[in-house]
Amino acid sequence: MLSSYTCFGKNHLHFEELESTNAYAAELLSKTSPMDGTAITADNQWGGRGQYDRKWLSEPHKNLTVSLIVYPSFLHISDQFYLSMAVALGIIDYVEAKLCRTAHIKWPNDIYVGDDKLGGILIVNQLQGSTLSSSILGIGLNINQNHFPEEVPNGTSFQRITGAQFDLHDELIQLCIHLEKRYNTDLRHKSHLGLHQAYEQKLYKKGENIQFMDSNSTNWCTGTIEGVSPEGFLLIRAREGTLRKFSLGEVIIKY
């Protein structure tokens, strides 16, 4: 039934300033049961974080910084990376429709156009038994920012790519439409094979030679990115033919 579907952004909580939209979403979940698909945005967040607890740098009033609360109780914990696939592909769908440019997913959580970083994703899951009880989908996308700090040497934005200015509220609506479609159509209906294939088609540098190093080693190796496993492990075929499997934090890559 349609009523069981998640409506992304129907409930929208907007703030001028927050330390972090993800942190606010987590606090909200600890106290109440927000509507499925609740969106939390801020014009300025000074404590946003990405993977490895890296600081997310975003110029105030310029970009989309949004956290969405969902309840994917239909998803077994062994399948939780399919949620990451659906979110990444929803963002890719939105970016490509808006920019008419090819976008890619740089494992595990960055959105790229060409060799430049457009945004990032940070998903936090809460488990209950063998399923996901709730998830916070943290998304940062550079929209109207033109200048980036030295820490982001390859940063880009919608405005840098097109030369145009964009209305952030309108862009949030469009983003939610694409995310909702991937979540309700593909993920909820367990189209896992289709999600996996689509994700790998959009994987940054897939099939290309890269240099990589096991985080416990000091030696660089040459290999080819072959894909990502359903559990989210990055698959690299080493030059000698061995297929290596890495989780988050286990590998350093030179693209």
Instruction: Parse the chain into domains and list their residue ranges.
Output: 2-201, 209-254
Assess contact for 117 and 154: CB atoms under 8 A.
yes
Specify the pLDDT at position 1: 33
Specify the pLDDT at position 48: 54
Considering only CA atoms, which of 30, 124, 18 is closest in space to residue 68? 124
Q: Give, in degrees to the nearest 5, the angle at Cα 176 between 173 and 178.
A: 115
Amino acid identity for residue 245 in this structure:
K
Specify the pLDDT at position 53: 54
Considering only CA atoms, which of 107, 29, 94 is closest in space to residue 68? 29
Specify the pLDDT at position 110: 96
Q: Which element (helix H / strand E) includes 197?
A: helix 192-201
Assess contact for 198 and 214: CB atoms under 8 A.
no
Specify the pLDDT at position 165: 97
Specify the pLDDT at position 217: 87
Q: How many helices (H) and strands (E) does the chain have?
A: 5, 12
Any idea which residue has 């920019």 for tokens? 99
Structure token digits, residue 224: 């080819």
Specify the pLDDT at position 78: 96
Specify the pLDDT at position 255: 86
The CATH superfamily label for domain 2-201 reads Bira Bifunctional Protein; Domain 2 (3.30.930.10)
The C-alpha atoms of residue 53 and residue 250 are separated, in whole angstroms, by 15
pTM of the model: 0.94
- Regions in the chain scoring below 70 on pLDDT: 1-3, 47-57
Specify the pLDDT at position 150: 85
Candidates 2.30.30.100, 1.10.287.3510, 3.40.190.10, 2.30.31.70; CATH matching 209-254 = 2.30.30.100
Specify the pLDDT at position 3: 45
Specify the pLDDT at position 153: 85
